Chains A and B, each alone.
Chain A
């Protein structure tokens, strides 16, 4: 797949930053494709180390997608913000598929199936986190966004502060509260 022209994405980012919501709609699929492709490649066996760092991945997408001649901090932060959202969607989509995939057979559940790398539990866990995050967003959108940026987007507190126009201290406090609340939700509703 050919990458969309870099300046196009850079412009869209700038437009979005200036408040043009339609820019986001255009950006979304472009970034989605790139991130999805990269995530798969990172995870494939071509890579020996099998490790995947969100930041490295999004950075790579950023370098590939955004015009590096006009690099600026705000641009990068915004790119990361949207990437966080997208990564969340990519992962949750996968997780949901696994969580609710029908188990085969009936008469005999055979061992090989259990050797599968993916377990529905794993998927369900992510889906539950996503759902808890949604209810947090209803209650407290900013705190939910902090989690999205940090956990799904791999941003650090400093970067999150820039994206959300708040102080780093606020990010730290938001994170503590949000994490405690999410933990509580997941633990209380844990299915055995």
Chain B
């Protein structure tokens, strides 16, 4: 920016931020005149200003933010190095593999058992801390009891000449982090890795051990057979410096403080931290499920779901933001089931997440089976297609037979997918009731209140005053409506319109959300009224009959419906143009396992209630 421009921008910015809303917009517009680029510059800076204040960007002091840096240096200064060829107990040091704040790692040979091990020698700084060592020892003991092929085996925790070390299995391979740096992973490989990580977690959770630090750096892939090993089981617990791993009561406060004092700085592993970890609440196995979900998301999308320029950005995202659906960040289409699994693993509220690693493991395994089957069908069917073309001279009858065979296979595949969608919804609906904490607690219920305003139109112009619709009256052709919705519960709202179509294929129009209404979000905060559409009116088309307005109000975001937002534009008037999407919506809305909603109709307000965490209700409007 040249100095004059800088002056100009800062001058407008200075006054603009003291104004609000429209006054600000008007001021900026007035000052910038026709200079579009100036206006863009100013607006960008204003947006940055708002976000910087919301996120407390550099609002603390640098020393606080860098506290860890200084601390780490202290520890590093005290690290003792071992030389190649040196003996430590029965271990012969072969070479140094790495170093960190807690100590150094060597490749060593255990002369007693004649095997190669990774030897982690703790820095004296760490081992001098009695309390920490006590916990460290205990964790190592517990972790070494885990005997699962996807968990790095701990051989020994020992002390020789005031040096404390940990001998573990040596894995010749690379971490998932390194693997990800090298290439974009394909879906089958992603599922393989995820399944192995979850198998490890399942075994650990069974033994009441929570990892608490699942991230690509802690997942190793063995070079020779691609077997996945989860590292650092239980060790993470004893680390005191990083909030991500603090759970014991006395540390909770520390963790909370560490966050408050660290605005403006990225911390290494914050991206995989669960909301409960970020808030220094007690954590359990579900925190590992979250981190695994984040990791899968990253493998699929190539980017992390929660990632900001600074740790405070990231924490805000972890606590408040819903990640961009995978389907929207991947270049190639992904199975909806994968989206569902990932979404279910990174729900903010642990009670809404997968409750056990086993459940998630089962879903991933069946998805893998399904994809394998599909790949198999694709593989076996494609040569046939070739033959049809090449062997056309064989006559029409053979061709037809082959085509029928292909069609049958396609149908089987479609049925498998349909079944899975249906099953996942049934499970979801079922769990919402079954998993309520304990019997005496009230069963979940969703409730929603709506009312409809009608505006008459004559010759394309509003005619008379808008009035609230009482009951479900007959509509004239030129009536236009607005729907108003409010709930005492926060939730995700989706509205779909199903016209009185007679064609066999279902057709829906997306009414809400859109890219613009409610700032493009489907989230409805408790008590807030949303008016749909915000500025215009809904108009029925010429076709007469019963119009259904499907109201879907869910405690958690519904990925299948989120994806429909793209159709809510002027060109298509919200019509979902994709046949599969329409079918998915139909399955979803008419799923027999959904609990039946009850409606209390008042003069103008109607309150709808349904058991469970998902409410689906059709408002029927007849028009002639």
Interface residues of A (CB under 8 A from B): 39-40, 43-45, 50-55, 57, 87-88, 91, 94-95, 98, 103-105, 107-126, 129, 139-140, 147, 151-152, 154, 173, 176-177, 179-184, 186-187, 190, 192
Contact = CB atoms under 8 A, between A and B. Distances in A.
Interface residues of B, number: 84
A92 to B, nearest CB: 9
A98 B69 contact: yes
B265 interface: yes
Contacts of B172: 107-108
B401 to A, nearest CB: 52
Contact of B51 (A125, A126, A183): A183
A184 B48 contact: yes
Interface of B: 1, 3, 6, 10, 13-14, 17, 44-46, 48-49, 51-53, 57-58, 61-76, 96-105, 107, 118, 120, 129, 152, 166, 170-175, 177-178, 215, 217-218, 220, 231-232, 235-236, 239, 241-242, 254, 257, 261, 264-269, 303-304, 307-310, 313
Given A94-B70, A94-B73, A57 B63 contact: yes
A113 B232 CA distance: 10
A50 to B, nearest CB: 7
**Consensus secondary structure, chain A interface:** helix
20 contacts: A40-B70, A45-B74, A87-B63, A91-B69, A98-B72, A105-B98, A108-B97, A108-B173, A110-B97, A110-B118, A112-B100, A115-B100, A115-B235, A117-B101, A122-B66, A122-B268, A139-B6, A154-B63, A180-B45, A187-B308
Given A39-B70, A113-B105, 14 more contacts: A40-B73, A52-B67, A55-B61, A88-B62, A95-B66, A111-B152, A112-B166, A112-B235, A113-B100, A116-B101, A117-B72, A122-B267, A176-B17, A187-B48
Contacts of A186: 309-310
B483 to A, nearest CB: 37
Contact of B98 (A108, A117, A147, A184): A108
B64 A53 contact: yes
Contacts of A103: 98
B58 A147 contact: yes
A186 to B, nearest CB: 5
Contacts of B173: 108
Contacts of B102: 112, 115-116
Contacts of B48: 180-181, 183-184, 187
B273 to A, nearest CB: 13
A126 B265 contact: yes
Nearest to A108: B97
A125 B270 CA distance: 14
Given A107-B97, A112-B105, A181-B45, A173 B69 contact: no
Contacts of B178: 109
A180 B52 contact: yes
B72 A118 contact: yes
Nearest to B75: A117
A186 B239 CA distance: 30
A152 B61 CA distance: 6
A152 to B, nearest CB: 5
A122 B171 contact: no
